[in-house]
């Protein structure tokens, strides 16, 4: 019976098993089939991965050097392009659209011998917190199928949670990797803005979007991060900073950290009291162990979700204007010879409700007359938040918080209550607004049986420190 603990353990298994990649691929294909009802995958590349596994097994047999992700089975959120494969962003408007090139992350993974097993379900255009906004039906949480897995990268989180992939890639614009990781009890990492190329990622809000990683262990997240990070001629927003060997730096000796937390975040009435207690107990324990853990004032808490939604919907309204039914995507049956009628009919039928709402909101906040009151104001708040993060990181190395204020809710429970749904993002959007790295690590189990995580944020490009602290906390 094949079982997966970590990439390193899997690589030792491959050393002893000539057909190891094929064994792994068969195992995952049958697990995906058995757990179909979770609706985590929109497509599985069955024949391709069987073939690829054979080729990789041959490569090892021939004694050729192997890649860092050799045989590692990876799932891709349905917003990441893979040449010749469908990418639909969970939307009818792109149903059956085939990528004409691969995202940089996909190229990098393939160069290091990864096996891409399929395309994972998500909220349409990555807009949502529950994976209920997919045009292809909701994703189910494997621990309790009546509950959501979080979103928008729900299929990718469930992929790792339910043992359907070793690693999944998602995207995180306001929490879409960390929030489902929290709901599913896995590791979810969003790097600094500019660490990973966004080339080939279908854009939601370009100044927020980052590709992120789901894994079972911190070490696997570190290994994958090192492979997919780094400068790219196709994305000028990626940093030229060298990419550290994150995984080998993980083994640093345990040490004492200077940690901050936002007082208002812990006092927020929306935070589940059991979660508050669990994290407060952790803080007490860390203090006893000699870490500095201080509350700091964060008077902007109530502004961060509105700021996030003004700015991201503005960017989305512009990004999604390319889906015009002329060059690609769904085109509604023609109702008149007017071009505008064709746009309207196609976009009204092709986009789901949530996406339409956001395009309208974004168009509104950018319209003349309202631009300064909303968009400019929100940009100013974004700068204030950035300055706040600069101040905090003068004195502290990390900021901790819950990842989400509650555990996974029931399917349908919040779909009619937009404001309640937006509250799920209250702790995650800060990192995207200021561009810093953040991770959710699975540390706790609630009385209701569901897991929840701790979020750790560090300063720009301090992923190494974030991963080291995560490893130290998870293994203590």
* Binding positions for ligand GLN, rule: CB under 6 A: 126-129, 152, 171-176, 204, 312, 425
Burial of 64 (0-12, 13-18, 19+ CB in 10 A): exposed
Q: Is 152 a catalytic residue?
A: yes
Indicate the DSSP class of residue 192. -
CA atoms within 13 A on the CB side of 474: 22
Q: Quick check: helix, strand or coil at residue 189? A: strand
In whole angstroms, what is the distance from residue 1 CA to residue 3 CA?
A: 6
Shortest distance (Å) from residue 128 CB to ligand GLN: 5
Region of residue 63 (left: phi > 0; alpha: psi -120 to 50; beta: else) = left
Handedness of CA 153, 216, 454, 407 (dihedral sign): positive
In whole angstroms, what is the distance from residue 337 CA to residue 339 CA?
A: 6
DSSP per-residue string spanning 260-318: EEEHHHHH-TTS-HHHHHHHHHHHHHHHHTT-EEEEE--TTHHHHHHHHHHHHHHHHHH
Shortest distance (Å) from residue 443 CB to ligand GLN: 22
- Which of 35, 77, 108, 216 does the annotation list as catalytic? 77
- Quick one: 173 or 319, whose CB is closer to ligand GLN? 173
Q: Is 192 a catalytic residue?
A: no
- Which of 91, 129, 134, 152 does the annotation list as catalytic? 152
DSSP-assigned beta bridge partners for residue 457? 399, 438
- Quick one: 17 or 207, whose CB is closer to ligand GLN? 207
Strand ranges, E, within 82-193: 115-120, 167-172, 187-190
Shortest distance (Å) from residue 345 CB to ligand GLN: 26
* Helix ranges restricted to H, 17-119: 20-34, 46-61, 104-111
- Quick one: 232 or 425, whose CB is closer to ligand GLN? 425
Shortest distance (Å) from residue 249 CB to ligand GLN: 27
- Quick one: 118 or 128, whose CB is closer to ligand GLN? 128
- Which of 129, 176, 346, 440 does the annotation list as catalytic? 176
- Quick one: 124 or 471, whose CB is closer to ligand GLN? 124
The sheet carrying 398-402 orders its strands as 41-44, 115-120, 73-77, 167-172, 210-215, 187-190, 438-445, 451-458, 398-402, 258-262, 292-296
Element (H, E) at 444: strand 438-445
State residue 158 phi and psi, 5-degree precision.
Answer: -65, -30
- Quick one: 128 or 159, whose CB is closer to ligand GLN? 128
Q: Are 473 and 221 in contact (CB under 8 A)?
A: no
- Quick one: 174 or 329, whose CB is closer to ligand GLN? 174
Q: Is 241 a catalytic residue?
A: no
Tokens linked to 115: 């096996």
**Active-site positions?**
77, 152, 176
């Amino acid at each position: 019976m094949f079982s997966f603990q970590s990439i390193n353990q899997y690589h030792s298994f491959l050393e002893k098993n000539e057909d190891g990649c094929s064994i792994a691929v068969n195992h995952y294909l049958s697990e995906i089939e058995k757990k179909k009802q979770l609706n985590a995958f929109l497509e599985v590349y069955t024949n391709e991965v069987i073939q690829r596994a054979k080729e990789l097994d041959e490569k090892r047999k021939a004694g050729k050097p192997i890649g860092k992700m050799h045989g590692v089975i990876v799932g891709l959120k349905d917003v990441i392009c893979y040449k010749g494969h469908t990418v639909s962003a969970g939307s009818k408007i792109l149903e059956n659209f085939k990528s004409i090139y691969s995202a940089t992350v996909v190229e990098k993974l393939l160069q290091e011998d990864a096996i891409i097993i399929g395309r994972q379900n998500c909220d349409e255009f990555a807009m949502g917190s529950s994976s209920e906004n997919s045009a292809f039906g909701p994703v189910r949480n494997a621990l309790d199928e009546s509950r959501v897995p979080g979103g928008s990268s729900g299929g990718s989180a469930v992929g790792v949670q339910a043992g359907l992939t070793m690693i999944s890639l998602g995207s995180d614009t306001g929490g879409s990797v960390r929030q489902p990781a929290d709901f599913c009890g896995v590791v979810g990492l969003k790097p600094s803005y500019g660490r990973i190329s966004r080339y080939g990622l279908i854009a939601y809000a370009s100044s927020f979007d980052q590709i992120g990683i789901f894994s079972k262990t911190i070490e696997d997240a570190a290994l994958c991060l090192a492979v997919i990070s780094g400068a790219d001629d196709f994305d000028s927003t990626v940093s030229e900073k060298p990419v550290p060997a994150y995984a080998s730096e993980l083994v640093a000796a345990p040490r004492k950290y200077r940690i901050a937390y936002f007082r208002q975040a812990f006092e927020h009435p929306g935070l589940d009291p059991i979660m508050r207690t669990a994290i407060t107990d952790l803080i007490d324990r860390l203090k006893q162990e000699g870490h500095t853990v201080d509350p700091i004032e964060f008077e902007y808490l109530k502004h961060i979700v509105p700021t996030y939604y003004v700015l991201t919907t503005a960017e989305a309204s512009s990004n999604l204007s390319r889906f015009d039914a002329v060059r690609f995507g769904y085109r509604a049956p023609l109702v008149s010879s007017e071009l505008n009628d064709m746009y309207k009919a196609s976009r009204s039928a092709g986009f789901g409700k949530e996406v339409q709402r956001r395009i309208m909101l974004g168009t509104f906040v950018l319209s003349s007359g309202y631009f300064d009151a909303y968009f400019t104001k929100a940009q100013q708040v974004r700068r204030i938040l950035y300055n706040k993060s600069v101040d905090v990181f003068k004195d502290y190395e990390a900021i901790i918080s819950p990842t989400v204020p509650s555990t996974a809710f029931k399917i349908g429970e919040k779909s009619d209550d937009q404001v309640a749904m937006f509250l799920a993002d209250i702790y995650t959007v800060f990192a995207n607004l200021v561009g810093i790295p953040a991770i959710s690590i699975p540390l706790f189990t609630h009385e209701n049986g569901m897991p929840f995580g701790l979020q750790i944020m560090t300063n720009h490009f301090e992923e190494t420190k974030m991963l080291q602290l995560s490893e130290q906390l998870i293994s203590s």
